[in-house]
């Protein structure tokens, strides 16, 4: 067998071994998004208000409803009917946060926090 063919064969085997290794390591380290502990009480002041000021008030700063500025957000969400504690997933706030137009504005864990806060009764805490 000529040397060139042996070399090609070895390269081929090495490539297969390399991709197999990659595949196994990918299997082992699949991305698992962080999960929020549902038993931890979410605070509107400490957990939710900062999501709004960081990600939302550039648009929802008074001109577009709901007004999500600090000190205004709780009342505008409550009075505007954006929250449904009986069926948290259907709340207009949560529906909007996961909608295609708004989804990129919050991280996965922030979405979970907003939903958990509504599930815990949407308290002004
Ligand atoms: C780039 C501007 C922009 C940003 C940033 C933005 N929004 Fe909005 N949002 C809009 C516009 C425009 C509307 C009204 C039209 C619509 O429904 O898409 C709206 C509508 C809404 C509504 C009302 C939906 C309804 O059912 O009437 C909610 C609730 C909302 N946004 C929440 C948020 C939250 C929470 C954030 C931050 C995570 C956010 N928005 C960030 C532009 C923005």
Q: How far apart are CA 97 and CA 115, in angstroms?
A: 10
pLDDT band at 9 (very low <50, low <70, confident <90, very high): confident
Position in ligand 1 atom list of the atom nearest CA 58: 5
96 lines ligand 1 (CB under 6 A): yes
Check residue 105 and give its pLDDT.
98
* pLDDT (mean) for 4-25: 72
Q: CA angle, corner 45, sides to 104 and 74, nearest 5?
A: 75
Grade residue 14 by pLDDT with cuts at 50, 70 and 90.
Answer: confident
Give the pLDDT band (50/70/90) at residue 113.
very high
Ligand 1 pocket member 88 (CB < 6 A):
no
Q: Whose CA is nearest to atom 11 of ligand 1?
A: 64
Cβ-based neighbours of 57, under 8 Å, separated by 6 or more: 68, 69
Of the pLDDT bands very low, low, confident and very high (cuts 50, 70, 90), residue 81 is very high
Expressed in angstroms and rounded, the spacing between residue 21 Cα and the centre of ligand 1 is 45
Instruction: Kindly tell me if the per-residue pLDDT of 88 is higher than 60.
Output: yes
Is residue 98 lining ligand 1, measured as CB closer than 6 Å?
A: no
């Amino acid at each position: 067998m000529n040397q060139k063919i042996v070399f090609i064969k070895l390269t081929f085997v090495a490539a297969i071994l390399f991709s197999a290794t990659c595949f196994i390591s990918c299997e082992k380290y699949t991305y698992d998004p962080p999960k929020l502990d549902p038993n931890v009480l979410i605070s509107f002041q400490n957990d939710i208000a900062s999501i709004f000021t960081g990600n939302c008030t550039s648009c929802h700063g008074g001109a577009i409803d709901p007004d999500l500025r600090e000190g205004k957000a709780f009342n505008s969400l409550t009075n505007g009917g954006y929250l449904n504690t009986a069926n948290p997933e259907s709340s207009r706030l949560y529906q909007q946060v996961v909608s295609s137009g708004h989804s990129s504005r919050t991280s996965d864990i922030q979405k979970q926090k907003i939903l958990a806060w509504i599930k815990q009764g949407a308290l002004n805490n």
